[in-house]
Amino acid sequence: MKSVATDKVFAGSIPDIYDRFMVPLIFEPYAADLARRVASRQPARVLEVAAGTGVATRAMAATLAQGTSIMATDLNQPMLDRAAAVGAGQTVQWRQADAMQLPFDDAQFDAVVCQFGVMFFPDKAGALAQARRVLAPGGALLFNVWDAIEHNEFADDVERTLAGLFPADPPRFMSRTPHGYCDRETIARDLRLAGFTAAPRFETVASRSRAPSAQWAAQAYCQGTPLHNEIEARSPGGLARATEACAEQIARRFGTGAVDGRIQAHVVVIEA
């Protein structure tokens, strides 16, 4: 699926809401999983691309051996500013960088890590080629991507609800971008185009998405992602109404108290 320009814009109030609501809702369990996989390789130098507000960075800082060098990068400076303000367990270097043109020499890192970022790259094979270029011989690229939206219950409910509110032009950010790069053959093809010759290893990992209320989950999706921009573009001043409609749908399906829904992602590991 083709992305649009606003899909990669995380600015304004989005970074703060994303970190406070979205990160604990869906990202923390996968960050811990990815950090364990990286740690098992015992790297000395790690590069993270599309680090966002640093949930995987913090997990790696807490899991990797003391003294491991971690360079965390993201295209969006506001996201990095939030990540740096929260901090990490050990020294992490934060640097604004475009994954499409990494500002590092060849063969500099033992591992390149990307937590739910590859879906946002406009030229995925090109960005993966950049990751391969900066990997040292024997190093590995580790990343995860969301499975199709129907396997991710809150996201599916939100998108269906917004389609009902805006039937003439449904906001499709979630299925178009976060959940739009889940086909294994497509990912394997892009890795070959990037110059990787080893076979990628895929593992589908299911987990649970939990929030103290349906309102919390709806706010995470509607206000902590670029859905915020799509809603405002269709209904200026209508963000609260859209959020409430999504909260009502999640509550109808999962209850009026704490909510618990399925999430599912693919983890990909490939050696340079």
CA 126 to CA 237: how far, in whole Å? Answer: 38
Q: What is the mean pLDDT of the segment spanning 109-124?
A: 97
Give the three-class secondary structure for 116: coil
pLDDT higher than 90, residue 107 = yes
Number of domains in the chain: 1
% of the chain exceeding 90 in pLDDT = 88
**Residue 264, CA distances (Å) to 1, 113, 179, 182, 202 in order:** 19, 19, 10, 10, 13
Give the three-class secondary structure for 151: helix
Q: What is the mean pLDDT of the segment spanning 161-177?
A: 97
φ, ψ (nearest 5 deg) of residue 68: -65, 135
Q: What's the token pair of residue 107? A: 């063969």
β-pair partners for 209: 261
Residue 261 parent element (H or E): strand 259-271
% of the chain exceeding 70 in pLDDT = 94
CA 1 to CA 121: how far, in whole Å? Answer: 12
pLDDT higher than 70, residue 38 = yes
Query: Three-state secondary structure along 84-109?
Result: HHHCCCCCCEEEECCCCCCCCCCCCE
* Least confident stretch, 76-85, 173-182, 201-210: 76-85
Range of the domain at 131: 5-271
Task: Indicate the DSSP class of residue 134.
Answer: H
Q: What is the pLDDT of residue 17?
A: 87
Tell me the Ramachandran region of residue 47: left when phi exceeds 0, alpha when psi lies from -120 to 50, beta otherwise.
beta
Compute the C-alpha angle 265/269/270, nearest 5°. 145
pLDDT higher than 60, residue 95 = yes
Which amino acid makes up residue 103?
A: P
φ, ψ (nearest 5 deg) of residue 199: -85, 130
pLDDT higher than 60, residue 3 = no
Is the whole model's pTM more than 0.75, yes or no?
A: yes
Q: What is the pLDDT of residue 4?
A: 56
CA 263 to CA 260: how far, in whole Å? Answer: 10
191-221 per-position pLDDT tens digit: 999 999 999 999 999 999 999 999 999 999 9
Q: What is the mean pLDDT of the segment spanning 49-76?
A: 95
130-163 per-position pLDDT tens digit: 999 999 999 999 999 999 999 999 999 999 999 9
CA 254 to CA 249: how far, in whole Å? Answer: 9
pLDDT higher than 70, residue 9 = no
pLDDT-based confidence at 12, cuts 50/70/90? low
Q: What is the CATH number of the domain that holds 69?
A: 3.40.50.150
Q: What is the pLDDT of residue 5?
A: 53
Question: Which of these, 238, 186, 179, lies nearest to 26 by C-alpha position?
Answer: 179
Show the DSSP H helices in the chain as ranges. Answer: 14-17, 28-39, 55-63, 77-86, 124-134, 153-165, 173-176, 184-193, 214-223, 227-234, 239-254
How much is the mean pLDDT over the chain?
Answer: 94
pLDDT higher than 70, residue 11 = no
pLDDT higher than 90, residue 13 = no
Residue 84, classified by CB atoms within 10 Å of its CB into exposed (0-12), middle (13-18) or buried (19+), is middle
Give the three-class secondary structure for 145: strand
Token match 């003391």: residue? Answer: 66
pLDDT-based confidence at 129, cuts 50/70/90? very high
